A and B are shown apart, each in its own frame.
Chain A
Amino acid sequence: MRKRLYRVLVALIGALMVLMVGTPGAAQATETPPPDATAIQVTLQDEANKDAQGNPKPIEGVTLEVTKDGEKAGEGVTDAKGVAIIEVEELGKYVVTLDEKTLPSGTVLDENTKNEATVQVRFQGPNNRAIFPIGVTAGEQSNFGKDLAQNLRAGIVFALVLCLAALGFSLIFGTTGLSNFAHGELLTFGALMAWTFDQLFKTGGLATVSVILAGIIAVVLGGVGGYVQDKVLWGPLRRRGTGLIAMMIVSIGLSIFLRYLFQYFYTSSTRSVSQYSGQQRETHWYYLGLAFADREAITVLISIVTITAVCVWLAKSRMGKAMRAVSDNPALAASSGLRVDGVITNAWVIGAALTALSGVLYALTLQVNVFMGMRILLVIFAAVTLGGLGTIWGSLVGSLVIGLVYELGPLFGVPTSIKEVGPLLIMIVILLVRPQGILGRKERLG
Chain B
Amino acid sequence: MDILDILRAALQQALGPQAIVFVLAAIGLNIHFGYTGLLNFGQAGFVAAGAYGMAVTVVTFDAPFWLGLVMAIVAPLVLAVILGVPTLRLRADYLAIVTIAAAEVLRFIFGAVETKDTFGGSNGLNGYAKPFQEANPFSSGLDLGIVSFGRNDLWSLTVGWALVALCCLLVWALMRSPWGRVLRSIREDEDAVRSLGKNVFAYKMQALALGGVIGGLGGAFLALKQASVVPSDYSTLMTFYAFAALLLGGAGRVMGPVIGAFVFWFLIAGLGSFFSQSAGDGGWIPTVIMSDTQASLIRYIMLGLAIMLLMIFRPQGIIGDRREIAIDGR
Contact = CB atoms under 8 A, between A and B. Distances in A.
Pairing of A with B: yes
Interface of A: 179, 233, 237, 242-246, 248-250, 252-261, 263-264, 267, 378, 381-382, 385, 389, 415, 417-418, 420-421, 424-425, 427-428, 431-432, 435, 444-446
Given A253-B310, A255-B304, A415-B113, 7 more contacts: A245-B329, A257-B305, A257-B307, A260-B297, A420-B104, A421-B109, A424-B105
Contacts of A381: 97, 101
Contacts of A237: 312
A407 to B, nearest CB: 16
Interface stretch (B84-92, B207-215, B220-228): B84-92
A421 B308 contact: no
B298 interface: yes
A75 B115 CA distance: 39
Contact of A417 (B113, B307, B311): B113
A266 B39 CA distance: 33
Nearest to A255: B304
Contacts of A431: 86-87, 90, 94, 98
B113 to A, nearest CB: 5
Contacts of B3: none
A416 B112 CA distance: 9
A179 B112 contact: no
Nearest to B92: A245
Contacts of B113: 415, 417
Given A179-B93, A445-B90, A446-B90, A253 B308 contact: yes
Contacts of A417: 111-114
A435 to B, nearest CB: 6
Contact of B300 (A250, A256, A382, A444): A256
B243 interface: yes
Nearest to B110: A418
Nearest to B113: A417
Nearest to A249: B311
Nearest to B299: A260
A264 B307 contact: no
Interface in B272-318: 293-294, 297-298, 300-301, 303-312, 315
Chain A contact residues, majority secondary structure: helix
B26 to A, nearest CB: 14
A250 B329 contact: no
B330 interface: yes
Contact of A246 (B115, B293, B315): B315
B308 A254 contact: yes
B149 interface: no
Q: Which residue among B39, B91, B93, B330 has the maximum number of chain A CB atoms within 10 Å of its CB?
A: B93
Chain B contact residues, majority secondary structure: helix
Contacts of A415: 112-115
B304 A248 contact: no
A428 B98 contact: yes
30 contacts: A179-B93, A179-B96, A179-B97, A242-B312, A244-B328, A245-B93, A249-B307, A250-B307, A252-B243, A253-B309, A256-B304, A257-B308, A259-B304, A260-B297, A260-B301, A261-B301, A263-B297, A378-B100, A385-B97, A415-B113, A417-B112, A418-B108, A418-B109, A421-B105, A424-B101, A424-B105, A427-B97, A427-B98, A435-B90, A445-B94
Contacts of A418: 108-109, 111-112, 114
Contacts of B327: 242-243, 245-246, 249
Contacts of B306: 253
Nearest to A240: B312
B102 interface: yes
A250 B308 contact: yes
Contact of B305 (A253, A264, A446): A253
Nearest to B190: A446
Given A246-B327, A378-B100, A257 B94 contact: no
A428 B247 contact: no
Contacts of A427: 97-98, 101
A269 B327 CA distance: 37
B96 A248 contact: yes
Contact of A250 (B39, B294, B303, B312): B312
B278 to A, nearest CB: 15
Given A243-B329, A260-B297, A446-B90, A382 B101 contact: yes
B326 interface: yes
Contacts of B108: 418, 420-421
Contacts of A263: 297
Contacts of B309: 253
A425 B240 CA distance: 22
Contacts of B90: 431, 435, 445-446
Contacts of A249: 243, 247, 307, 311, 327
A417 B115 CA distance: 10
